[in-house]
A = this chain, B = another copy of it.
Amino acid sequence: MRHVADRAGVSYQTVSRVINDADGVAPETRERVLAAMRDLNYRPSVAARSLARARTDTIGLVLPFPVDVTFANAHFLQTVGGVDRVVAENDYSLLVSSPNDEDPALSAHRRMVRQRAVDGVIVEAGMGDEGIELLVEAGYPVVAIGHVAAAVPSVQPDDESGAYSATQHLLALGHRRIALIAGSTPGNLAQQARLRGCKRAGTDAGQPLDEDLIATGEFSLESGHDAAARLFDRDVPPTAVLAFNDAMAIGAMQLLRERGIDVPHEVSVVGFDDTPTASLLTPSLTTVRIFSSELGQRAARTLIGMLRGTKVPPVPAVLPSQLVVRQSTAPARRD
């Protein structure tokens, strides 16, 4: 920087002003400085700037699983897509941290804390919340995406009402034996909310769900396939399946096709997420939309707002979810 200043015949402070687009610099001087910067192929050092300004203009993103696992899930994918977009728009950088195998619960957060390299952190809920506490204790502004117990601002889909309306839809179609393909981690709060929604819809309709018809999967296509296999091996198989994400719903549809069971005339299938592919399947998938990208965008905006000193309402921002009825659901056949 000093070199640039010399070459342009000004002081380093003036160079600094030019870099930061501060006013109070004569247009002609500015030009001279810019020229010198070009000539010397000069680039400011973020490290020095961060040090002096006590901020890094970087936002940390903590993932619940390794990169390849996390992004294999369409919901997380969309979510992070939204974050990425907003972050880039606001000239922040994105530093990602994912857990390693040794300490899946906390390593991603730990690494983020150890490196004091970000101004704030966005956490994808999915694992426990101890990690969030860790970040908060370390003094970071934190925004969570999804349901968290920790007292940090969060944006979350309305899982409960989404699950409620999906179940209601199936009940209205006359289905009585409704199977659920839930997640296998009962501690997960989103999972709990969805389950709550399903059950409430059942009891509200005077048709409580059969607990025996709740299978679990890992949110992957294969696990949905396998869970469905278990469900349809039963003596009295279900007439409808509600999976807690689209991938598992698609897996279930695969199994049904293998077994020659027609969707939707013999069995109805509902997913969760409204993945882009959901609408492209045949039959296209009835599913609960949760606006994942929007969720990510809001989280990023909220965090950036916090960094810029805006007040943030302490209540979680809940985005309504929405049932999208397509071809994979139909009235139950009379037994």
Q: B-contacting residues of A (Cβ < 8 Å)?
A: 41, 43-48, 50-51, 56-58, 66-69, 71-72, 77-78, 80-85, 88-89, 93-98, 100, 111, 113-117, 137-138, 221-222, 225, 254, 258, 277, 280-282, 293
Contact = CB atoms under 8 A, between A and B. Distances in A.
A14 to B, nearest CB: 20
19 contacts: A43-B116, A46-B116, A66-B81, A67-B77, A67-B81, A68-B77, A68-B78, A68-B84, A69-B81, A72-B77, A84-B98, A85-B100, A93-B95, A93-B97, A93-B117, A94-B95, A95-B96, A96-B96, A222-B277
Contacts of A115: 46, 57, 93
| Tally of this chain's copies | 2
Q: Top 9 A-B pairs ranked by shortest CB distance?
A: A68-B81, A47-B50, A71-B71, A67-B84, A47-B51, A46-B117, A67-B81, A43-B116, A48-B51
A80 B67 contact: yes
A134 B166 CA distance: 51
A45 B41 CA distance: 28
A63 to B, nearest CB: 9
A116 B46 CA distance: 6
A174 to B, nearest CB: 28
Contact of A43 (B44, B85, B97, B113): B113
Contacts of A67: 77, 80-81, 83-84
Contacts of A66: 81, 84-85
Nearest to A46: B117
Main secondary structure of the interface of A (DSSP, over half): helix
A222 B276 CA distance: 10
Contact of A116 (B45, B51, B97, B258): B45
A177 B69 CA distance: 38
A100 B78 contact: no
B88 A100 contact: yes
A43 B138 contact: yes
Contacts of A83: 67
A189 B213 CA distance: 51
A279 to B, nearest CB: 9
A181 to B, nearest CB: 16
A69 B277 CA distance: 13
A280 B111 contact: no
Nearest to A60: B93
A282 B260 CA distance: 13
Nearest to A250: B277
Contact of A94 (B47, B96, B113, B254): B96
Given A46-B116, A77-B68, A111 B93 contact: yes
Contacts of A46: 50, 56, 115-117
| Residue with the highest number of chain B CB atoms closer than 10 Å, among A51, A57, A117, A280 | A117
Given A46-B117, A84-B96, A93-B117, 8 more contacts: A44-B116, A47-B50, A47-B51, A47-B117, A68-B77, A71-B80, A93-B95, A225-B280
